[in-house]
Chains A and B, each alone.
Chain A
Amino acid sequence: MEAFAANSGRIRLVRADEVMALIREFVQNLGLDGAACTPESELRSLGIDSLQAVDLVFQLEERFDMQIPMEQFNAKTIGDAIAFVVSLSQGE
């Protein structure tokens, strides 16, 4: 995973609302209910399976120009995902 561990120095700070907007758009593109997305929503109950979660992580990486170690992405809820991405952008 060396290629995915190189976030230092070049990523920008990501806001929670930007991540929320991307996740809502992602859910809608899957034909699922984007309006049902809240920070408390569980990804699995929204209909996002493990394969789609890999796609979501890729889209987060692309949009925010960051690299997310998949093995550390253990988000159960949208709120978990937002917190993880925001903290990663802060270099935490």
Chain B
Amino acid sequence: MRRRVAVTGVGVVSPLGNQLDAVWSRLMAGHSAVDVGRFKNAATETELAVPVARLPEGVLAAPARGIAGMTDRFTQMALQAAASAVSDANLDLASVDRSRVGVSNGTCMGGISETEVGFDTIYLRRRPKVHPFTVVRTMYNAPSSFVAAVFELTGPVLAYSTTCSSSAVAIGEATRMIRHGYADTMIAGGSESLLTYSAINCWHSAQLLAPIAGQPHESCRPFSSDRNGTVLGEGAAFVVLESWEHAVARGAPIRGEIVGYGCTADSGHMTQPSVSGQARPMISALNDGGVQVDEIGYLQAHGTGTKANDSTETAAIKLAFGDHARALAMSSSKAQLGHLVGAAGAMGFVIALHALRTQSVPPTANLHQFDEACDLDYVPLEGRQKSGMSHAMCNSFGFGGTAVSLVLCSAS
């Protein structure tokens, strides 16, 4: 048995806002949320300044009082995005069999903010113990577990951590849950909150972060020859997925359909991507959906802005798509939203979905300089209308080699 999977609701908490239409307008216009972030080491009183994309004031609402004390920021963002998705789906969870509804989240660094607080408590402040909720606040399945608890859901409640592809895996595996009958509805996505000194130090130390550009919002430059690193951001994106029959039966607003999921391993270097390793999930997702390469009208690229990723991804797209690679419109939104790491796959998925719904493609911001190794159509600087698109793809690749592509089909 293989059931069709509809996307019926979308919710985002992002550096460009929490209302998808407004986020989309900003993306299309090339706006970037990236600015200078300053992170203090409380022990040495030194500072690390890097470009980051933070949530603007007011984008993340204060959590309910009983929940606030038990959760880290990454769970609070997930709860808000998931609730928005449920609302967008017009889904009254009290009216469905909640044993058939599950939750699936992805994250890379979980509750790292709270982990840092714990270390400060025992090493810096020399207190005898950390807060008793530290495990609950930091555990990687906290987003799924709290969403399930709030909505009283008793289907499969799962978490995935494959670094930058975590939430794409969460959506893909949720799709399989529905396809194969383990659930009728899944709330799936990811969240990441790593704008804290220790986490920034990890990424900075690995030489992955772009330095602050003269104009900070131009720090991340995917596919541009002068790109020199990625920019981290924080946020969450969740979707409601339902079996097609379930969605139709309750008159749900069907936003699109997930038709293909490819999840493969690079199986080589822990951080260095390979062309075949990135082509493999694209081919797998196309095969999974029975979709021909020339049916894909838009591709939301992983496009991190690092030297290694963008040229490798370009070569991988050429390998997977052949001659059609040059007809594709593709872009990376990381110059504008930052790299949301564990939430990046879900955010990219939402962007690809909205491209189909609006028949328009968002740009790759800050793409000013041509690179011979990046010679495809990345929709530089400004978004554009593109009619006739029936399918889109979203790429999401992680350190450790878990590479994911998702293929979407327009609802109409």
Q: A1-37 toward B: CB 8 Å interface, digit per residue (1/0)?
A: 0011010000000000000000000001111000000
Residue B65, interface by CB 8 Å: yes
Say yes or no: A55-B127 contact (C-beta < 8 A), given A29-B68, A31-B65, A31-B66.
Answer: no
Q: Contacts of B133 on A, CB cut-off 8 Å? A: 55
**Min C-beta distance of B283 to chain A, whole Å:** 48
Q: Contacts of B129 on A, CB cut-off 8 Å? A: 3-4, 58
Do B69 and A29 touch across chains, with their CB atoms under 8 A apart? yes
**Min C-beta distance of B123 to chain A, whole Å:** 14
Give the secondary structure class of A's interface. Answer: helix
**Min C-beta distance of A35 to chain B, whole Å:** 15
Residue B132, interface by CB 8 Å: yes
**Min C-beta distance of A56 to chain B, whole Å:** 10
Do B127 and A31 touch across chains, with their CB atoms under 8 A apart? no
User: Contacting A3 at CB < 8 Å: which of B65, B66, B128, B132?
Assistant: B128
Which A-chain residue is minimally distant from B133 (CB atoms)?
A55
Q: Contacts of B127 on A, CB cut-off 8 Å? A: 62
Residue A89, interface by CB 8 Å: no
User: Contacting B65 at CB < 8 Å: which of A30, A51, A54, A67?
Assistant: A30
Do B128 and A29 touch across chains, with their CB atoms under 8 A apart? no
Q: Contacts of B43 on A, CB cut-off 8 Å? A: none
Q: Contacts of A30 on B, CB cut-off 8 Å? A: 65-66, 69
CB-contacts of A46-60 with B (<8 A): 51, 54-55, 57-58
A42 to B237, CA, bound (A): 42
**Min C-beta distance of B71 to chain A, whole Å:** 13
Q: Contacts of B249 on A, CB cut-off 8 Å? A: none
Residue B64, interface by CB 8 Å: yes
Residue B131, interface by CB 8 Å: yes
Do B132 and A54 touch across chains, with their CB atoms under 8 A apart? yes
CB-contacts of B85-141 with A (<8 A): 127-129, 131-133
User: Contacting A67 at CB < 8 Å: which of B64, B69, B128?
Assistant: B128
A58 to B128, CA, bound (A): 11
Which A-chain residue is minimally distant from B134 (CB atoms)?
A58
Do A4 and B65 touch across chains, with their CB atoms under 8 A apart? no
Q: Contacts of A4 on B, CB cut-off 8 Å? A: 128-129
Do A31 and B64 touch across chains, with their CB atoms under 8 A apart? yes
Do B68 and A58 touch across chains, with their CB atoms under 8 A apart? no
A31 to B69, CA, bound (A): 11
Do A55 and B132 touch across chains, with their CB atoms under 8 A apart? yes
**Min C-beta distance of A36 to chain B, whole Å:** 15
Which B-chain residue is minimally distant from A6 (CB atoms)?
B128
Q: Contacts of A54 on B, CB cut-off 8 Å? A: 132
Where the two chains meet, the residues of B that have a C-beta atom closer than 8 Å to any C-beta of A are: 64-66, 68-69, 127-129, 131-133
**What are 23 pairs between A and B in contact, CB < 8 Å?**
A3-B128, A3-B129, A4-B129, A6-B128, A28-B65, A29-B65, A29-B68, A29-B69, A30-B65, A30-B66, A30-B69, A31-B64, A31-B65, A31-B66, A55-B69, A55-B131, A55-B132, A55-B133, A57-B132, A58-B129, A58-B131, A58-B132, A67-B128
Sample of 7 more A-B contacts, CB < 8 Å, known A51-B132, A58-B131: A29-B65, A30-B65, A31-B66, A55-B69, A55-B133, A57-B132, A58-B129
